[in-house]
A and B are shown apart, each in its own frame.
Chain A
């Protein structure tokens, strides 16, 4: 396949960027999207140009590092895949593909297609945990958990923290990410002692990072490579409002 790429190039966080056109040829449909970028970068290096910087690591759809906004959608045209698991058979010979970085105030561009997602870590540090020190645990089977609850918690916990939800949302809201973690612990008995404190702290941190607000368009859920459900946001809202309006414990 032969393709035209329009790729966002930006020297660093301070400079302004622009879309640059590249041609790639002899692309195999079995290549992943990132392997196609490897080919392009090899070309650029051989020509003495600077290769395109993009984040990637595991290339099997689980680390959450890859993050390309492809043809107007995070992780490209296929549902439930990350950029690294998007294969070129999803495109046609002669296609023009526009590739941009995630765009959000809370995710500043570092260089080219790489953005800074450390805001997510700070949200987790604000409350995305159960406060249990190593060595304090009781026997794992002393706490039976209904399979349905455990499965629901797992589905929420499957979030890979890639940030596609933020990238897709017209408001650059991080509520799907935050609510997935809130939900995981809110569904499990282990998470109950800190349930209301956790949701308040995580929402406060999320707000201070400059993410937008949720307007329930559902774009995040549609674009999430792991199919994290919008129900998590409702659960987070419920927990948050319960905590703020009815709990006497201050966060």
Chain B
């Protein structure tokens, strides 16, 4: 094996991939949440649909979309490998452990939170990504906004979405600053700022995401 490929199978290397893909996915979230926020213009989804249409047809965006999926898959595969390695590193577990004394529950539950997010993601893709793709493929017009307002009429869907973004919030709460730590980007002056940004990012972004289904369900937006 070459030195570079060995890099990415080492403990630090795998974490590097996790961190890098994590940060990449965070950057996607910024785009996603910005477009979502357009519905709050309350213009009957006009601006939102323009943006959605652009995202669905623009070539560069579509290439990036492949990158996005690759990123998600890489993030998941690495997570599975790391989890397996970490489990193997402690074959006999403690009879009694007081882990809450030294770490937060969500930092220890990234795998669980990630799994919840993945399950949510599958539903989410089924709801929105697939119809868009199908429309593009069939050269049909697709009204994303209308699709949204339809999907979020069901209470259970809204609840699942809210739970999904809560999982995302906790995942980010640990993941955001953790990615910087893993990449080795720490600094006496800058790290506190990164942590503060990460904290507010993990709260604000999921709230905006959650507001969409809630406001549609409650009819604040039509």
Residue ID in chain B nearest A107 by CB atoms:
B90
Of A69, A215, A239, the contact of B184 (CB 8 Å cutoff): A239
Chain B 1-30: CB-based contact to A (< 8 A → 1; otherwise 0)? 001100100111111100000000000000
Bound Cα distance A168, B107 (Å): 14
Chain A contact residues: over half helix, strand or loop, or mixed?
mixed
Total residue contacts A-B, CB cutoff 8 A: 146
User: How far is it, in angstroms, between the C-alpha of A6 and the C-alpha of B10 when the chains are bound?
Assistant: 38
0 or 1 for each of B96-107: is its CB under 8 Å from A? (1 = yes)? 111101111001
* Chain A 223-234: CB-based contact to B (< 8 A → 1; otherwise 0): 100000011011
Contacts of B4 in A (CB 8 A): 244-245
B contacts with A, residue count (CB < 8 A): 42
Interface readout for A207-251 with B: 1 if CB under 8 Å, 0 if not?
A: 100111111111100110000001101111111111011000010
- A219 and B102 in contact, given A69-B94, A235-B186 (Cβ under 8 angstroms): yes
Q: Is B11 within 8 A of A210, CB to CB?
A: no
Q: Which residues of A contact B94 (CB under 8 A)?
A: 69, 72, 100, 103
Interface: A62 (CB within 8 A): no
**Is there a chain B Cβ closer than 8 Å to A90's Cβ?**
no
Please give the distance in Å from B57's CB to the nearest CB on chain A: 36
A100, A217, A219, A244: which has the most chain B beta carbons within 10 Å?
Answer: A217
Residues of A within 8 A of B147 (CB): none
Residues of B within 8 A of A145 (CB): none
User: CB within 8 Å of A: which of B160-198?
Assistant: 174, 177-178, 180-186
Question: How many chain A residues have a CB neighbour from B under 8 Å?
Answer: 52
Pick the residue among B89, B95, B183, B186 that contacts A171 (CB under 8 A): B89
Distance between A4 CB and nearest chain B CB, rounded to angstroms: 13
Q: Which of B105-123 contact A (CB under 8 A)?
A: 107-108, 110
Q: Is B92 an interface residue (CB 8 A)?
A: yes
Judge whether B66 is part of the interface by a CB distance below 8 angstroms: no
The answer to whether A212 and B96 touch (CB under 8 A), given A203-B12, A217-B108, is: no
Which residue from A173, A206, A216, A244 sits with its C-beta under 8 Å from B3?
A: A244
**Chain A residues engaging chain B, CB cutoff 8 angstroms:** 6, 8, 19, 69, 71-73, 77, 98, 100, 103-106, 109, 168, 170-173, 175, 203-204, 206-207, 210-219, 222-223, 230-231, 233-242, 244-245, 250
Q: A103-B92, A241-B16 are in contact. List 11 more A-B contacts (CB 8 A).
A: A8-B95, A106-B89, A170-B103, A210-B89, A212-B86, A214-B182, A216-B178, A231-B186, A235-B184, A240-B12, A240-B184
